[in-house]
Amino acid sequence: MTSTPIELAATMRGGTKDYGSGDTAVRALDGLDVDIARHEFTAIMGPSGSGKSTLLHTLAGLDRLTAGQSSIADTIITGLSEAAITQVRRDNIGFVFQSFNLIPSLSAKENITLPLDIAGVDVDPAWFDEIIGILGLGDRLTHLPAELSGGQQQRVAVARALVARPEIIFADEPSGNLDSKSGAELLGFMRRAVKEFGQTIVMVTHDPTAASYSDRILFLEDGRIVDEMREPTADRVLDRMKQMGH
Ligand SMILES: Nc1ncnc2c1ncn2[C@@H]1O[C@H](COP(=O)(O)OP(=O)(O)OP(=O)(O)O)[C@@H](O)[C@H]1O
Ligand SMILES: [Mg+2]
């Protein structure tokens, strides 16, 4: 019998990241091996300072490893020029951060299509309509960010990440600034994007409920992966966090 190889959207081998030097040096990532499977929703959890954001940023090519190697899709980005990495990011990656990073003077619609407009790529109208419909933004497209609620602004940020159908979406605490209802809606949508559209998502969170929307959780401690959990539930995540001394 042959088994289908797991397709990987991103990888890291021996990923090490040091900040600073000498007495103030901090090893934020300590030789990580990570595989991010395509069409999966991966959550990254761990105590404050354990290296979650650093892992996200180095996987996404926003920051460079000190040692080791990482790849996005089939491209090893380690050692590429800044311009080349920027191109790989543009072609493959969508970002959703805790702060929504919307341009205040642009409408919701203009914010959503901005990455494609910059890249000179046409927006697929059917795909745009589908995203907007599911995110419930249809009657908000002409509004400025300041005229939207926090949850609506975050959904605009998610739509902006999805519109180019990126290979991977990286999200750092995307529901962190939202009330629990808006957060649940957003996470539910991210889960649908994975299940129904085959989107790949990597999300940092410290919230067990948020993490329970994922397919797999990687637990970080002191810059190392100390555990992993498949098909998590909030209760099991909470138990695991208690063991880790939270
Ligand atoms: N730019 C930087 N310069 C120096 N040290 C840094 C820098 N960024 C992160 N660090 C350090 O690296 C370690 C990992 O930080 P990181 O931001 O990845 O943690 P985190 O798990 O995302 O934490 P949090 O849950 O608080 O967001 C920490 O000790 C942090 O102080
Ligand atoms: Mg962080």
pLDDT digits (tens, 9 = 90+) for 50-69: 999 999 999 999 999 999 99
- Which residue, judged by its Cα, is nearest atom 6 of ligand 1? 19
Using the atom order of ligand 1, give the atom closest to the CA of residue 50.
Answer: 21
User: Could you give the C-alpha distances from 82 to 63, 87, 88, in angstroms and in order?
Assistant: 10, 9, 10
User: At 85, which helix (H) or strand (E)?
Assistant: helix 82-92
Using the atom order of ligand 1, give the atom closest to the CA of residue 220.
Answer: 21
201-204 vs 168-172, strand pairing mode: parallel
User: Does residue 45 contact residue 237 with C-beta atoms inside 8 Å?
Assistant: yes
Q: Note the pLDDT tens digit of each residue in 194-230.
A: 998 899 999 999 999 999 999 999 999 999 999 999 9
Mean pLDDT for the chain overall = 92
Classify 68 in phi/psi space as left (phi over 0), alpha (psi -120 to 50) or beta. Answer: left
Q: Ligand 2 centre from 176 Cα, in Å?
A: 11
User: Does residue 82 contact residue 89 with C-beta atoms inside 8 Å?
Assistant: no
- Which pTM value belongs to this model? 0.92
Q: Is 236 exposed, middle or buried (0-12, 13-18, 19+ CB in 10 A)?
A: middle
Q: How confident is the model at residue 4 (pLDDT cuts 50, 70, 90)?
A: low
The DSSP line for 102-163 is --TTS-HHHHHHHHHHHHT----HHHHHHHHHHHT-GGGTTS-GGGS-HHHHHHHHHHHHHT
Res. 3: pLDDT tops 70: no
- Residue 86's contacts (CB-CB under 8 Å, 6 or more residues apart) are none
Q: How confident is the model at residue 246 (pLDDT cuts 50, 70, 90)?
A: low
**What does the pLDDT read at residue 99?**
80
Domains of the chain, CATH where assigned: 8-20+27-243 (3.40.50.300)
Q: Ligand 2 centre from 125 Cα, in Å?
A: 35
Ligand 1 first shell, C-beta below 6 A: 19-20, 26, 28, 46, 48-54, 206
User: Average of pLDDT values for 37-44?
Assistant: 97
Res. 1: pLDDT tops 60: no
Least confident range of 15-24, 96-105, 201-210: 96-105
- For ligand 1, mutation pick of 27, 50, 203 (most atoms within 8 Å of CB): 50
Using the atom order of ligand 1, give the atom closest to the CA of residue 46.
Answer: 21
Q: How confident is the model at residue 5 (pLDDT cuts 50, 70, 90)?
A: low
Q: How many helices and strands in the chain, by DSSP H and E?
A: 8, 10
- For ligand 1, mutation pick of 24, 27, 52, 63 (most atoms within 8 Å of CB): 52
**What does the pLDDT read at residue 153?**
93
Q: Give, rounded to a whole angstrom, the gap between the first and last alpha carbons of the chain.
A: 45
| DSSP type of residue 47 | S
Name which residue leads in pLDDT, 141 or 4: 141
**What does the pLDDT read at residue 98?**
79
Nearest-5° Cα angle at 140, 129 to 202: 65
Q: Which residue has the tokens 């940020």?
A: 157
Least confident range of 2-11, 82-91, 92-101, 154-163: 2-11
Residue in 85, 92, 96 with CA at minimum distance from that of residue 204: 96
Q: Ligand 2 centre from 37 Cα, in Å?
A: 22
- 3-state SS class at 90: helix
Q: Which residue has the tokens 């103030």?
A: 24
